[in-house]
Amino acid sequence: MTDNRLGRIWGLVAEQAAARGGRVSAGDVCAAAVAGVQVTGAWLSAARGAEAGHLMRATDELSERLAELQLTLGEGPSLDASASGGPALASDLADGESGRRWPVFAPAARQAGAAAVFAFPLVVGVIRAGVLCLYRDRPGRLSSVQLGDALGFADTATLLLLDAQARAGEDQGPGAGPGGQPADLGAHRAEVDQATGMLTEQLGVSITDAFVRLRAYAYVNDLRLTDVARDIVARRLRLQPDPGPFQDGDA
């Protein structure tokens, strides 16, 4: 990364931090990347290894929706980037390649209002800290300059996120969690985790299987994952165990 590019990226990130009156964070990188790369919106997820991770920052409602869609459906650019350790770029979600790679996510994302999604893993050596994702409401490739800037923002977010994790016990500034995460996003993730834990007891399954059931219920009923989790935690909704090999009345 050239000094000029690095200086410009850090300047944009610092402006975001100053606007919210807090320490520079990975969340500020997410917001700064929207103007820096000339996209419509962005989101940042923190993760360990190739797991789906949890949402740290979303610049708008559609960004949050796109992150949740991938978590619910189990497919999409951010999951591919996290698993492969390389960028996953979809300049037109309506083209055949996107349809083949993400047969459920691509049409759902288009219906939600996105036309292009670009995902960049947050990696340092063998360490994978999360994913920075950008979207556009119109199809179009990133130029070579924009791609270089996006990679620069991802590198900056990686360093700040790892630094935030190392300082996890310290005060992160007004109204923010680790990495500049808004408090409400942290609460949403906590509800999903709590609901998953409750399902392990209710259904007698592993954490992994419980999360699959949670995602499946949200998908089949066309509901947001966080809404289903909230209803389970509040005990307004109780999922039933899968039927065994024998039903009532079987011999």
- Taking the chain (251 residues) in runs of 10, the rounded mean pLDDT of each run is 79 90 88 96 79 79 94 92 93 97 97 97 83 97 95 91 66 46 54 79 81 79 81 86 50 35
Q: Looking at residue 2, what is its pLDDT?
A: 65
* pTM for this prediction: 0.74
Q: Looking at residue 140, what is its pLDDT?
A: 96
Question: Among 125, 128, 155, 122, which residue's Cα sits nearest to residue 13?
Answer: 155
Q: Looking at residue 52, what is its pLDDT?
A: 54
Q: Looking at residue 246, what is its pLDDT?
A: 38
The CATH architecture to which 3-180 belongs is 2-Layer Sandwich (3.30)
Domain 183-233 class, CATH top level:
mainly alpha
Domain residue extents for the chain = 3-180, 183-233
| Sheet architecture: strand order including 41-46 | 54-58, 41-46, 127-136, 116-124, 88-90
- Structural contact between residues 88 and 78, judged by C-beta atoms closer than 8 angstroms: yes
Kind plus residue range of the DSSP H or E element containing 122: strand 116-124
Q: Looking at residue 51, what is its pLDDT?
A: 56
- Structural contact between residues 120 and 131, judged by C-beta atoms closer than 8 angstroms: yes
Q: Looking at residue 26, what is its pLDDT?
A: 87
